[in-house]
Amino acid sequence: MERKQEMKRTYYLAVDIGASSGRHILGWIENGKVRIEEIYRFENRLEEKDGHLCWDLDRLFQEVLKGLERCKELDRIPLSIGIDTWGVDFVLLDGAGHVLGNSIAYRDGRTQGMDTEVYKVISEEELYHRNGIQKQLFNSVYQLAALQRQNPEFLNQAQSFLMIPEYLNFRLTGEKKNEYTNATTTQLVNAQTQDWDEELIGRLGLPRRIFGKLHMPKASVGDLAPEIQKRVGFNAEVVLPATHDTGSAVLAVPANDDHFIYLSSGTWSLMGIERLIPDCTEESRQHNFTNEGGYHYRYRYLKNIMGLWIMQSLRKEFKHAYSFDELYTLAEIGSYFPSVLDVNDAAFLAPKSMIRAVQEYCERTGQEKPETECELLYCVYNSLAKCYAATVAEIEGVTGKEYPRIHVVGGGCQDHFLNKLTAEYTGKEVYAGPVEATALGNLVAQMLKSQAFADLVEARETIARSFNVKKVEG
């Protein structure tokens, strides 16, 4: 009987790839609730190549295929497949569809000084007024400026610009489609027209031909190519979710009102609100808020904070492989330590040693240097929570509105010590969950396309009753 019931299910597959790992998560609706199951997981990592930090996209694509083969092994064939990844990184393709150069990652140092070069063409103020995107030196516009100076031949040969999930979709289907939410992270999409800013692209001397039509989440990319079908053993439609992982994560926030702040917590912390109208004012720029595009032309008005990356990097350097609970206990022991970091300082982006980077920052700023693991951990936790509290205050100051709740979603929502500090410092009600928010948001876009949900309101209501969302005690 169970076998017959399973055969009737409609499955959807989210391929959610982060900076350190990727996972294939099957989703389906059962008894009015969303059910999910992780069926495949793989490592992702940066590799040094020709003096640059790069992604191995060929290996990533092979991992995507292995996860699809796992669907066949389990006899759980998805109706559709969606891929999401981090933002800003891209590849250029020549006319034959081959990648030009290496797939250089956002943590690479090639963009140093590129902001100055871009501002010779357009002022920082005007750039923000056009696109409303937070300045991060690794944004695509600065990566493209680096390419213009370091490898202009690639731009001359390029026929297509594809961000990482779009490139993986191309490898699966043979179709090249640019997706709106991820495109906004390039700083080349106009916040008012919600399309490529052709005037800006021209002023920057970039070839307009490489930027394709923008498609919204729910759009079909196409069926799996014949050779892919042969390898994995089935056909399925590839559908665009919000391909920027934060866009997908915010889709899965289990609330439909406008009285909350979300915190998508993982390697990066994305903290903000949903808006229907962008804020590209000078005040917003001064506060360094971003207006990233979201599902159905919503805007994610948020700050991009370094997040658990610092903690993850410290953990790799510790001699003992502590469990997460042990890390929380150690951090609490170090709660006497007074020094505070600017967690967004460039020193923490890709240091050779995160321990030394934290210690050197404290010395540079005239603060006590952490010596023990307890002190290092508490220093980072305390600094992150204080950054969250400051961001909440800025959001309320800029919007003139009070938000009583914070919804923490993503893998970092399991970090109960950080959640506790966040509740304490912000004075807000903090709710944790769901954990797999990004994959859920990816699945929701596919389910909305197939009309499994009538609209986003119904989808979020279903998520709220499908997963254990816990209130954090401060």
Q: What span, in angstroms and rounded, lies between the C-alpha atoms of 278 and 8?
A: 43
Q: What span, in angstroms and rounded, lies between the C-alpha atoms of 40 and 60?
A: 13
What the block records as the tokens of 276 is 């229907």
What the block records as the tokens of 29 is 């609706």
8 A C-beta contact, residue 179 and residue 240: yes
8 A C-beta contact, residue 234 and residue 382: no
Q: What span, in angstroms and rounded, lies between the C-alpha atoms of 290 and 35?
A: 33
Which residue in the list 89, 108, 197, 245 is annotated as catalytic? 245
Active site residue 245: yes
For residue 207, cis peptide bond before it (omega within 30 degrees of 0): no
Beta strands (DSSP E) in 287-379 are: 290-293, 299-305
What the block records as the tokens of 450 is 């197939």
Query: Exposed, middle or buried: residue 6 (CB in 10 Å: 0-12, 13-18, 19+)?
Result: middle
Tell me whether strands 21-30 and 429-432 are parallel, antiparallel or unpaired: unpaired
- Give φ, ψ of 232 to 5 degrees: -90, -20
Around Cβ 213, how many Cβ atoms within 10 Å? 9
Distances (CA, A) of 127 to 119, 145, 399, 428: 9, 14, 22, 34
8 A C-beta contact, residue 12 and residue 447: yes
Q: What span, in angstroms and rounded, lies between the C-alpha atoms of 47 and 230?
A: 31
Would you report the helix, strand and coil content of the chain in percent, each value rounded to 5? 45, 20, 35
Kindly write down the DSSP assignment for every residue of 65-118, as one continuous string. Answer: HHHHHHHHHHT--EEEEEEEB-SS-EEEE-TTSPBPS--B-TTSGGGTTHHHHH
CA 371 to mean position of chain CA atoms: 32
What SS3 class is residue 471? strand
What the block records as the tokens of 367 is 């603060």
Catalytic positions, written as ranges: 245
